[in-house]
Structure 1
Amino acid sequence: MRAGRRAAAAVAAAAALLVAGCTTVPTSSTPVEITQVADPPDDVGIEALPPVPGAGPEEVVRGFVDAMASTTRNHPVARQFLTAGAADTWSDTDGVTVISADYAPVAADDGTVVLTAGLVGRVDPGGVFSTGAGQPYSATFDLVQEDGEWRIASPPDGLVLLEPDFIRTYDQVNAYFVDPTGTRVVPDPRFLVSGGSQATALVDRLVAGASTAVAAGVLNPLAGVELRSNVQVRQQVATVDLTGLPPGAGDGVSLLCAQLVWALDQLDDVRAVRVRVDGAPVAVDGVPDVQTVDDWASFDPDAVPAVSVAHYVSAGALRTGTGEPAPGPAGTGQYQLTAAAITADARTNQLGTTVAVAAAGGTSTLLTGAYADALTPVLTATTFTAPTTAATRPEVWTVRDGSEVIRIPATGSPQTVNATTLPGLGGARVFQLSPDGVRAAVVVDGPDGGQLLVGTVVRSDDQVAVRDLRSIAPQLSQVVDVAWRTAGGLVVLAGAPGEDGTAPYEMGVDGWGLDAVSTAGLPAQPTAVAAAPSRPPLVVAGGTLWQLVGGVWTTLVRGQGPLVGQAPTYPL
């Protein structure tokens, strides 16, 4: 896979505020039946073997698990391990349970077989992964004799796949939706079976809408629209023919095109997209008939302004990644800062607002002001989390005293964000907005130390809320810090399994793909982290700052010693 570059009424209502450009679309046509929208391809190199005559119950269950890894439509070989009745009723489309490769089927005298394994996670029928974090998985298979052979009479619906088989037969791609400002696409990770039907399956996921976790925080320009036929890919151009676009969609069509192009561009066999509505071309001012991500570059989910350079705090002063003091009073140390965040404007390539935390005498003060200008106190508390920004709005967020989420607009007074479930989950130590402002990663106090949660930022006319806070990495204990490396990926500092101390990890926003990051070059265990798309991750280790370059941690200034400091950050 190459990296990827609510309703229709809501899109139409917001369109005038979102994207400029005239569009021309037809208004009616006869739908054409779509076949095999979500079906897998016939073969991606896995050969399922049928039952062996005389096989015992354990062997039959093992054979069934192996045969479920086939991508042949309807899993005909896997059904041979079932009784005739079970083969007729078993559903192989009810999602996937992914288990560890070291599973064990154990037969009992009554013909039942109990399969136990570690639960890696589950993928729902829409391709959405939820982590199992190695929790125990157990399934009981009832076997009976049929025509002299043991066969499974009670298979669980859906597929049960060993982790290596799952990795081999499924690809993770992003279904892209649109942030509430209509300025960039937002990743919603999905798993699709490898093969030639991915383009149709991915567009089908877009039409069906965002996953539960993020749906309340995004717009779906394709809501209410249908595919007229399967997506056709020829010479690396995908043709998407839609119907059901509401009259007067106007500029919402631009959002729809950006959504489709960014999503399909991830696929290996797609380099461009041709969008049709009821068989006729869609005309968007300034955009060719065959569209690429270059035509919708402004929607890049990982866009970062050039002015977004590293900052940190040292001896109470705000400094840049070169070690020089930041301009203005914040760079002098007079405020005795402990952390800061800075907004950046991609249109002007200028830094905007600084929001910083100062601590003295057991009291923390939140200060704000234009970058390089004097900072003014706006709130006090016992503690504030390090401030955080998103690239889509000129505002800064923090958490006061571990439970009250505060939003500070560039103009106007600080506002409390509705986050009613947060206090019950534990005191918040870290709160970081995703680059698109649709998600928040939070570290809260748990029974075994810091616990990582991810929630969705939901905006309405009169309220901003953080909802659906959920654990995405329960296997990580003693989480210390988290940062967004991309719109859909995190860098996490957490306790190293079986070892003392803290180590860095990378993972997807859904909990998939947890990987340890090398600590080569670090003088001590890391205690804080910062990241941004297309920028090297930063950590504090031994009271000094380090950046990850080529898999090795190096100093921020080439050829010079490490900079002394804390609380690294990238403006967004």
Structure 2
Amino acid sequence: MGADRGGNGVRGRRPVRVMVYAGCGALLLAGCASMPDNGDLRGVESTPRQDSQVRVYAMPPHPGASAAEIVQGFLEALTSDDAKYETAGKYLTDGARKAWDPYHSTTVLADAPNPVPSEAKDGSRDVAFRLSGSKVAKVDVRHAYEPDAGQYSGSVHLTRLKSNKQWRIDSLPQGVLMGTSDFQRNYVSVNKYFYASNGTSGSGRPLRTVADPVYVRAQVDPMTQIVRALLKGPTSWLDPVVRSSFPSGTELKNSDVSLAPDDRNRVTVPLNDKADRVGLPKCRQMAAQLLLTLQDLTPTGVDEVEFQKSDGTQLCVLNKSQAEGVASHGTGEHPGYQYFIDHEQRLVRMPRENSDKKPEPVPGALGEGGKKLRAAAVSRDEGTAAGVSADGRNLYVGSLVSGGSLGEPVVQSQGRTADDRLTTPSWDARGDLWVADRDPKNPRLLLLQKGAGEPIVVGASQLDGRIEAVRVAADGVRIALIVEKDGKSSLQIGRIQRSGPDDPRGAFVFDPRSVAPQLEEVTAMSWAGDSRLVVVGSEKGAVQQMRYVQVDGSTPLGTSPSALANVKEIAASEDEQLPLVAHSETDGIVRLSAGEQWQKVVQDGTAPVYPG
């Protein structure tokens, strides 16, 4: 549970957790692991992150185990790969086992829970243990992760059974409790995919999808877990802005179904009768949702999905290439260039992957130097750009074609200083333009439909502070914001909701949530995948750092970008294969490709962006 468990915690003989490599199967075979035939069983503390093939099995309570050993053994069993928590249930009385729901939630603590016994009279048949620790996060019944803070306090109560004089737990909190290291070993983050409901794609174009990250148990049939989670629908935070193509009530046909690819890398999914009457177009949308969801669960992804009706006959089949015509990640656009502002304060571009080619001014007025710029944003189809004037006061929009003109600014700020004026703008998947005006007398989040017309003031009453940066996700339903209050800046994700037919121009940002709460000063951020951002900031009293964060506030697996000094701005693409681009006060415009170090592009340049 936690290598640093100590203090007043329980010590002594404890049940052991057995680690087995998956290739050796569930039995302890020669060469895989062995059990001592004499001596004490020593408990395994919180397990450092293991290879993905390591399986952990808990041992049941041994006869005559003390109350302390029962509590410790139960906590250890919660962190094992026991599919239905059957071993953990052996530490409970019959009544407690029936009442306990391990799937209710998972509470994650910084370290393993520390059980402390309450005072009990000698010979007593009842004893309680208090569980405590520092909260990190909670995973709810829909597998959604949410950061948490403060102190956790819970308790378990034990009684000595009359039948055999053995100690068992008869009262306990619902759900599962474990430390961070055990959570990282036990759980894996997977994106479920749903369709954006705040707009439709054009005729013949794939539907836009939205990633909904959830956590499932990594070694307990994760494919079946994530399919069941997909069928239940989106997490509650995302639900208002997405839709699922699966009919309400659709589930796997049987509770004991276990899904896995066959030798053709096809996954066959038997559904209940709620899906029996689904037509082919809708069934293809269902299959595209599932193929996107399963893409990261195997080394090569899943090539094909087949749905079966409740009677076992085929409902539809869809492969990966066919799915690309049904559903896309975000806009489905693949950027051709990276952009930044050069030393002449023009918008310039460079090929997204060719680091040898020198940057060149973009076609049109924003690249001709007629208006000096401090920041810019390029539409996702790379046909239009928006530029903020050098003093931050004016926002211009122009086409990226030779000879194009700008006209009058589409937005003007009345802020007294450049830092109190316009932020870098951002284009969404519908071709609308977003920008924040930081004027202290009139702070506003603004939206221009198709980058033109009268700016719409976006409702954002739930935001507490002034917006310092804006980036809209490719899916068009989530917005990342840097919000400043009382000298501290935080990274928040909000949900974009559009008005209905009676007010088609309205837009609102709801339920903003902090996704990097440990950072006190966030300097820059950018979307870096379907559900991931790259953020530059610092913790209290610490130096600047660069890291990836998930939209649910969790930390994705893998390494952080290599260190870079004095970063002012960062740009990433939703295509995770493309390089990061940054503006460093020390090194200018630099680029980081996978597996390489930061490479300088130009010394004099600022405000790097990808389309979006």
Please indicate, yes or no, whether the TM-score normalized by the shorter chain is above 0.5: yes
**Quick one: distance in 2 between partners of 1:450 and 1:480?**
8
Please list the CA deviations of residues 504-533 of structure 1 after superposition, one character each: whole Å capped at 9, or x if unmatched.
11011111225773444x3x3211111112
CA apart distance, 1:387? 0.7
Please list the CA deviations of residues 277-304 of structure 1 after superposition, one character each: whole Å capped at 9, or x if unmatched.
4544446xxxxx4522564266342676
Alignment equivalent of 2:393, drawn from 364, 389, 413: 364
Please list the CA deviations of residues 157-192 of structure 1 after superposition, one character each: whole Å capped at 9, or x if unmatched.
111123333333322211110123252321111122
Alignment match, 1:240:
269
Alignment match, 2:41:
none
CA apart distance, 1:550? 3.4
Map 1:195-344 → 2, pairs under 5 A: 195=219, 197-224=221-248, 226-227=250-251, 229=253, 230=257, 232-233=259-260, 234-235=262-263, 236-242=265-271, 243-245=273-275, 251-268=281-298, 270-277=302-309, 279-282=312-315, 289-293=317-321, 295-296=323-324, 299-301=327-329, 305-314=333-342, 315-321=344-350, 322-344=358-380
User: Retained in 1: the 8 A contact 2:157–2:169?
Assistant: yes
Please list the CA deviations of residues 111-165 of structure 1 after superposition, one character each: whole Å capped at 9, or x if unmatched.
43222223231111111111226x4322222334445444333211111123333
**Quick one: distance in 2 between partners of 1:399 and 1:509?**
21
Letter in 2 for 1:358: S
Matched, 1:484 2:512: no
CA apart distance, 1:332? 3.3
User: Retained in 2: the 8 A contact 1:428–1:442?
Assistant: yes
Aligned length: 510
Matched, 1:398 2:435: yes
Matched, 1:374 2:405: yes
* Alpha carbons of structure 1 residues 468 and 149: separation in structure 2 relative to 1, 3 Å: same
Alignment match, 1:70:
80
**Quick one: distance in 2 between partners of 1:238 and 1:413?**
49
User: Retained in 1: the 8 A contact 2:287–2:306?
Assistant: no
Please list the CA deviations of residues 420-457 of structure 1 after superposition, one character each: whole Å capped at 9, or x if unmatched.
324x4110101111121121111101346111111111
CA apart distance, 1:369? 1.8
User: Retained in 2: the 8 A contact 1:265–1:292?
Assistant: no
Alignment match, 1:435:
474
**Quick one: distance in 1 between partners of 2:452 and 2:276?**
37
Larger Rg: 2
Q: After TM superposition, what 4+ stretches of structure 1 lie above 6 angstroms from structure 2?
A: 41-44
Please list the CA deviations of residues 44-72 of structure 1 after superposition, one character each: whole Å capped at 9, or x if unmatched.
83221223455454443222110112333
For normalisation by structure 2, the TM-score amounts to 0.76
**Quick one: distance in 1 between partners of 2:472 and 2:603?**
26
CA apart distance, 1:84? 4.0
Aligned residue for 2:521, secondary structure, equals coil
CA apart distance, 1:470? 1.0
Provide the identity percentage: 26
Alignment equivalent of 1:141, drawn from 146, 151, 156: 156
Matched, 1:93 2:122: no
Aligned residue for 1:475, secondary structure, equals coil
Alignment match, 1:554:
598
User: Retained in 2: the 8 A contact 1:397–1:408?
Assistant: yes
Aligned residue for 1:266, secondary structure, equals coil
* Alpha carbons of structure 1 residues 458 and 303: separation in structure 2 relative to 1, 3 Å: closer
User: Retained in 2: the 8 A contact 1:443–1:451?
Assistant: yes
**Quick one: distance in 2 between partners of 1:490 and 1:332?**
32
Aligned residue for 2:225, secondary structure, equals helix
CA apart distance, 1:318? 1.1
Letter in 2 for 1:291: N
CA apart distance, 1:545? 1.1
Runs (5+) with no aligned partner, structure 2: 1-24, 28-53, 121-126, 202-206, 351-357, 416-420
**Quick one: distance in 1 between partners of 2:398 and 2:364?**
11
CA RMSD of aligned residues (A): 2.9
**Quick one: distance in 1 between partners of 2:334 and 2:221?**
38
Letter in 2 for 1:301: H
Matched, 1:152 2:169: yes
CA apart distance, 1:395? 1.9
CA apart distance, 1:214? 1.1
Matched, 1:474 2:490: no
Letter in 2 for 1:311: Y
Matched, 1:179 2:196: yes
CA apart distance, 1:105? 2.0
Aligned residue for 1:344, secondary structure, equals coil
Aligned residue for 1:51, secondary structure, equals coil
**Quick one: distance in 1 between partners of 2:26 and 2:237?**
32
* Alpha carbons of structure 1 residues 370 and 42: separation in structure 2 relative to 1, 3 Å: farther
Runs (5+) with no aligned partner, structure 1: 1-40, 284-288, 346-350
Letter in 2 for 1:529: I
**Quick one: distance in 2 between partners of 1:452 and 1:436?**
19
CA apart distance, 1:316? 2.3
Aligned residue for 1:82, secondary structure, equals coil
